[in-house]
Amino acid sequence: MAKTVKKDLVLSACVEINCCKLLVINNVSDLTLQISELKSLGKKIGFVPTMGALHIGHASLMKRSVRENDITVVSIFVNPRQFNNPEDLAKYPRTIETDIEFVEKTGVDIVFIPEEDDVYPVNFSVPEVDLGRLEVLMEGRMRPGHFDGVVQVLTRFFQLVQPDNAYFGLKDFQQVAVVRKMVEYLHLPVNIIACPIYRESSGLAFSSRNQRLTEAQKEEALFIYKSLLKAKELAKKMTPVQIAEIMKQDYSDSSMELEYFEIVDPVTLESLTDEWTPDAVACVVAYVGEVRLIDNMQLN
């Protein structure tokens, strides 16, 4: 049943819907009712999908959506279908109560926190989306099935929320490319808006996984940001493949475990070798202890 943090949201009686407080919805039937009412009023809906453990990077997406839409919906759902490592799924931070308080402060109107059975009912039809090479490069190569899970959950959420605009952070650079491909392939009427990476003052990219890091590990993780800055500087005089080799050696000499460091075309995400393309992006994944961190930076 839908509930509010402060007061009930009665859409049919509220013309200025943003005057009402955050509505917390836990099931599909209540969400469907609210979205139907909003659409009948001609409201423009913004959507920010999350897996919880919210931080200031999420807040930047939410606040942008609030500015650009009549209504903003945030989902909190740890999607099991995009984890290929059961241990990683089990350790993913879950902080629902603090997340609700966090969302309330951003001006968001609705937070949707469903159970897995509601997201994936028995009759749920898995969409077939041809992602081409996107599903075998970088994250697709290292996490088989990951993007299938992303496609499944976002297809379902787009169906339920019916957003005009959906907001994603560019920290997950490849995921943004996959979502855009999915929307194009399925001809979905939603505008995908990619937002810049939000970083701590030190340069460390905000991530839900940062909650699993000790302060000492956060200092260690800064090596990722520093490596990207070094790659950006080297891009003035070296080829992509030369820089990638230097980065691999740097990580080998560090305390971090490198999964991959690739410099890619920003559209195709194919690795660059001897020639540069405009807006080439360095993508890196490395481990601090057992925590897998991802980051990227445009180089030229």
- How far, in Å, CA of 168 to CA of 229, rounded? 23
User: How distant, in Å, are the alpha carbons of 29, 194, 207, 270, 282 from that of 294?
Assistant: 36, 16, 9, 18, 11
Length of the chain: 300
- How far, in Å, CA of 9 to CA of 108, rounded? 12
Per DSSP, 209 falls in state G
Handedness of CA 166, 169, 172, 177 (dihedral sign): positive
Element (H, E) at 25: strand 23-25
Spatial contact of 211 and 93, defined as CB atoms under 8 Å apart: yes
Spatial contact of 46 and 163, defined as CB atoms under 8 Å apart: yes
- Sequence-distant (6+) residues with CB within 8 A of 52 are 76, 77, 78, 93, 94, 95, 96, 99, 208
- How far, in Å, CA of 291 to CA of 288, rounded? 5
- CA 183 to chain CA centroid, Å, is 15
State the CB neighbour count (10 A cutoff) for residue 98: 11
**Which one of the listed residues 55, 58, 146, 187 is annotated catalytic?**
58
The answer to whether 55 is a known catalytic residue is no
Element (H, E) at 297: strand 291-298
Catalytically active residues, by annotation: 58
